[in-house]
């Protein structure tokens, strides 16, 4: 459980894992899981425990960010 109440492990069965690079993971939202930052459904969830990450250009989709004690979560809408 995290400070915000979002628990990726609890939602794990509702997310399809696309990639796993150890400290970076990408999931697809396949069951309408709500973003803990804005309360709306998201398309993809990226999580990492790395200190710094850079992202390639995207199509302008909105992002929400959640920081917990164990990782940073990026929700793409
Ligand atoms: Zn959001």
Please check the confidence at residue 44 and state whether its pLDDT lies above 90: yes
Pick from 2-6, 20-24, 68-72: least confident: 2-6
The domain segmentation of the chain, as residue ranges, is 12-76
Ligand 1 centroid, distance to 74 Cα (angstroms):
9
Q: Which residues contact 60 (CB under 8 A, 6 or more apart)?
A: none
Ligand 1 centroid, distance to 22 Cα (angstroms):
24
- Mean pLDDT score of the chain: 89
**Which backbone phi and psi does 13 adopt, to 5 degrees?**
-70, -10
Which pLDDT score is estimated for 1? 44
Which pLDDT score is estimated for 22? 93
Ligand 1 centroid, distance to 64 Cα (angstroms):
4
pTM flag (> 0.75): yes
Give all strands of the β-sheet with 63-67 in edge-to-edge order.
15-20, 24-29, 44-48, 72-76, 63-67
């Amino acid at each position: 459980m995290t400070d915000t109440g979002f628990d990726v492990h609890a939602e794990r069965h509702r997310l399809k894992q696309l990639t796993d690079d150890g400290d970076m993971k990408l999931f697809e939202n396949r069951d309408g899981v709500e973003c803990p930052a804005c309360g709306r459904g998201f398309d993809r969830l990226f999580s990492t425990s790395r200190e710094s990450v850079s992202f390639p250009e995207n199509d302008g989709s909105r992002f929400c960010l959640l920081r917990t004690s164990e990782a940073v979560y990026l929700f793409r809408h």
